A and B are shown apart, each in its own frame.
Chain A
Amino acid sequence: MSASTLILLVLGLGLAGWLVARSRAAMFRRANGGKRIASLPNYHAWYAALWIVVPTLLFALVWSQIADNLVIQHVLASPAAADLPAFGMQRQTMLTEARAVATGAAPAVFNPAAADLVEPFEEALTRYNIIGMVVTLLIALAGGAWAFLHLKPDFRAHTRVERAVLSLLLIASLVAILTTLGIVASLVFETVRFFGMVNPIDFLTGVNWSPNPMTDGSNPDPERYGAVPLFWGTFFIGVVIAMIVAIPMGMMSAIYLNQYAAPRVRTWLKPALEILAGVPTVVYGYFAALTIAPAIRDIALALGVQNPSSESALAAGLVMGVMIIPFVSSMADDSIAAVPQAMKDGSLAMGATQNETIKRVLVPAALPGIVAGIMLAISRAIGETMIVVMAASATARLSANPLEAMTTVTYQIVANLTGEASMDSASTLAAFALGFVLFLVTLVLNIIALRIVKRFREAYE
């Protein structure tokens, strides 16, 4: 019996429990002369259904994990398994083949030696299937009986159902948190391995970045892993250049949309601006690499710059700035809109012009929210990968000239992780260390931004 049939069976039992419990609760009500009972019949029904379905599904989950092992153990204990090769690929293949035939997934074994194993497999599968099914049904019945015994006119089924819903919600939120923890743990694990080969201080302060993918873990050559040029490139492209574009443009568009635009204009412009946020970053990447970068090089040439790079930091930074505009503008828009109308009226009633009101009252009052928006935008910009992969260069360089080629943390993560180096070489592991540093920085930025936003909200509520 397959897992899906089992699940259907459990759900069927649950439905049966639901209907029975509901009619029993309805009976209480009739017996009570149509007066109210402590909970609506539906809650009784859900109470019973949950007691049937949840424990059985939990058991099924656990059982599906251990049943396989039990089957294998049974097969290995059979006399036919004595002929199996002790270890290795062949043994594994034979077991897999025999299982495939036993479950009906394959018509016949390819390796005749595996044929003997088919029968023990069939035997074991049947046995554990029956055990599993019987236990499942028993649990379903026990759960149903337990629930049914609780049904009384004065039983408050709704609070129990409420609690079940609550735990469901809790589990849902835990999944996201646990996933994050898992990601962090895996990052930390690999980072620690990397720092076993390269001193963290060298990594964080060295200025020479030229990882050699051909070296293995035993000879990491720590001289080559100074990440400062990467941090600089990331900072220069994502924070300096991108923000020089994004902050003024974002602020000005937010102010225009919020304060000046006629409602009709606003209903068109605001979604249009938000579309910018929905453009896949790879498309921005094309744009940066194919349109902006050559244009910048041509302009630089025309201005008399010798040998301008065709992969300038400026191109990547400008396009990234455009990409970030909607983030800055929507946060700024929200914060300006959150400033109470009374504040604005107060300023206008003093004879301030619209412009003075915006400059001296609205923007200062909204500043915490705007700053928070900018920090979120920065953390987004320095984590941005596609644009820099397509438009920035692989050359690690410490330079303040925006026309030079520069590389970023994210670029190097991609380059080192997808390169030909083996998984335990220092150059691959360096990607994890870079990712970890990036993660920490964006985490701190986000935490600060969220705290500012929270304080700001409190100030106006």
Chain B
Amino acid sequence: MTSPSRGAMGRLVGRRALSAVPVLLVVTFGVFALAAASPFDPVKAFGGTAVLGADQETLDRLRANLGADDPFAVRWWDWLTRAAAGDLGHSSVMRQPVTEVIGERLVWSTLLCTVAFGIAVLVGTLAGVLAARRPGSWLDRAVTSLAYSIEAAPVFWVALLAIWLFALQWDLLPAGGLTDTSAERVTAGQVLSHVILPAGVLALAQVPWFALYVRQGVADALAEDPVRGARARGLSERTVLLGHALRSGLLPVLTLIGSRVPELITGALLVESVFSWPGIAAATVEAATSVDFPLLAALTTLATVAVLVGNLLADLLYGLTDPRVKLSEL
């Protein structure tokens, strides 16, 4: 068997979609249970300051309308059936339906994360291969210690220092937002110049992980028989490194790519907030600051879906690149 058939891939996707259902049910149930255990009051959150002056009768009616006195399991089921029909409720902080918030912002988050992930994979692989070529060399030590230091640095701190350096000191790139404040329309050029800095910072936070894993994988592969054989056959060092060692060294990294989605989301939460990037993650922080429960619940669920999709993608990628893997066993 050389590569998995389309049928096997389809079956894997179907199986994962089925197993995602109980996960999402439990996570959303947990979200509603936490809300019920907290001092959070849906009436106050919904009405805001308007509730303060309202009389008891209006409050009671609002309570009944919102189902605030129902047990949380009932509210959970209510939310779930409506969500299945495409209604995720109304966001009080954004003053629009939650689905609209997601629809408008998902594009920008996806753009940011894709660019960042692309940069991280490229730079990380390059650094990892360079370091693995001579384990213990000064280059290896430099890459490794730099990777550890970057990994220990908080993303938001790096983001702030990047703004200071690139936007304030050198005036090379804009400090935040999607477009210049004077711009009337969103143009590709504007977005491109605004995405570089946040994507660069988000990428930098992901690079150490790639670099260290690629370094480990390639260094291990370099010490194994296939590489020894290739060298004995007189292949050039370049072919050995890129054709043999990198190929097998990159495999374990591919399988773990899916596990990076949570880190990517964590990074995006901080980076989008620092750069006022109008994405989903920044909306999550705003929703949390003003306790916008419908938006928070929807975005938490969305993030869980993203993590599950990431895991699935990694498995598919693994199956495609490694002929020894049987998709039916994943």
Tell me, yes or no, whether A binds B: no
- Taking Cβ atoms with an 8 Å cutoff, the residues of A that contact B are none
- Taking Cβ atoms with an 8 Å cutoff, the residues of B that contact A are none
